[in-house]
Structure 1
């Protein structure tokens, strides 16, 4: 028996390729076990029913577990304590984390995982207090992995791919300077100086409007510094005969 649990984009549980109908309480318990791993019943009762008394929360958990075991046999592992999902349950979030780990380690993620990094949102529309932290943690993981991919593409001489990855990171967090720096570096290396200037000006304007801040000096310097790093590029010679050293990369 094989289960596929999807938490990215929307909640969906498939059994051998067939979507299953699952109630809201059962969905939340299954999602919590998928994201947090094995947990005691007491912990889960308090997590999922924080407004209830301890007795009421324990009762709600018992009913929810009973329904899952009755309606979805084999989804939960055997044993009363702690509760956990069966080893036959495959979760898309785990695949996303594997892809992020690969990117952060400097290797190419497996086929399809890059697309997950680009577009995946954890249970959008769910606002449970316990889930907000998991959503933000996964969001930061995606950003870090996308930036790592962009740096890798730059190192391999693939500026267009670097721009695509960095723009995805910037779309997730529009005021993140490091993501825009990678976009600018990729655009300059691809010969798109005008695009790099637009990226800088758009970011500067948005940062000023929303935060009352200015980009760092290093970001502006990237507009002129990047060409010096291209293979075969020669340093700029000034009248005094000195070579200007490019500023450090962001």
Structure 2
């Protein structure tokens, strides 16, 4: 099952067509590895319905999920619901990879493109469900730290282009986040591209002033203080 870049359920090499309610149910369970009580599932997925209506909606969604998505079995031990452990969910693998990057890779792969692509992927884009808000924030924070950590490692290894592209992927997720912009400046400085470093700093300073009416931190400004005096 894929949750990154959009929802997709597949079985035996074929895409499984599911109604929206079943998609929401499977995605919700995929985000909670240990399972969730039935009542909590109904309440979270249908918060504006009465308890009876939410329970009925859950039964309908579960019926369609089991009827059409047999390759993605839903288990129901007692009053709990969970995906079968054998179901492969892309987000789980991406989270594991991100945590490994945050901890520091023992050895950088020849190409980090696949890692960066997964970390740059948004969780269920286009879905506006309230229960996704916290899960998106968790994923965003994890992948931001992973991208920044990877960019630092690439810079230390003098793989400057990859370091820049990785830092820019973090900026695309959170344009106001200073740490990612700071890495861009640091990479330019490490390469000896002083003008590029100063220009990146100035662009970020102008962006912050325009969007939030604040200035970069002293740590950020300190990177280019000597350049501004030249």
Per the TM superposition, whether the score is higher than 0.5 is: yes
**Kept after mapping to 2: 8 A contact 1:77/1:87:** no
2-side partners of 1:113 and 1:88: how far apart? 23
Structure-2 residue corresponding to 1:172 = 173
> Which residue of the partner structure matches residue 112 of structure 1?
114
Report what 1:76 is aligned to: 74
**Which residue is 1:56 aligned to?**
53
Match of 1:138 in 2: 139
Residue 9 of structure 2 aligns to a residue in which SS? strand
Write the mapping of 1:198-213 to structure 2, written as runs, cut at 5 A.
Answer: 198-213=199-214
Q: Name stretches of at least 5 consecutive residues in structure 2 with no aligned partner.
A: none
User: Is the 2:42–2:54 contact (alpha carbons within 8 Å) kept by the matching residues of 1?
Assistant: yes
Deviations 1:76-127 (A, max 9, x none): 125453111112211110111011111101014788333211x300011111
1:154, CA displacement in angstroms?
2.4
Give the 3-state SS of the residue equivalent to 1:84 in structure 2. strand
In structure 1, the residue matched to 2:28 is 32
Which of the residues 90, 95, 98 maps onto 1:97? 95
Which range moved further: 212-221 or 121-130?
Answer: 212-221
* TM-score, normalisation: structure 1: 0.83
Higher normalized contact order (CA 8 Å, seq sep 6+, divided by chain length) = 2
TM superposition shift of 1:63: 1.6
1:235-246 → structure 2 map (5 Å cutoff): none
- Say whether residues 1:11 and 2:7 are aligned partners: yes
Q: 1:224 to 1:156 in 2, by over 3 A?
A: farther
1:83 counterpart SS class: strand
Aligned partner of 1:245 in structure 2 is none
Shift in Å, 1:209: 0.6
C-alpha distance in 2 between matches for 1:111 and 1:143: 16
Question: Structure 1 111/209 Cα, relative in aligned 2: closer, same or farther at 3 Å?
Answer: closer
TM-score of the two chains, using structure 2 as the length reference: 0.90
- Which sits farther off after the overlay, 56-65 or 19-28? 56-65
Q: 1:173 and 1:158, CA in 2 relative to 1: closer, same or farther beyond 3 A?
A: same
Contact 1:104 1:144 in 2 (8 A): yes
- Is the alpha carbon distance of 1:225 and 1:77 closer, same or farther for their aligned partners in structure 2, counting shifts above 3 Å? farther
Structure-2 separation of matches of 1:52 and 1:132: 20
Task: From the CA coordinates, give the structure whose radius of gyration is larger.
Answer: 1
Label 1:54 to 1:78 Cα distance change in 2 as closer, same or farther (>3 A). Answer: closer
Between 15-24 and 156-165, report the one with greater CA deviation: 156-165
Offset of residue 148 of structure 1: 0.6
Equivalence for 1:229: none
1: CA distance between counterparts of 2:9 and 2:75?
16
- Give the length in aligned residue pairs: 221
Unpaired segments ≥5 residues, structure 1: 227-250
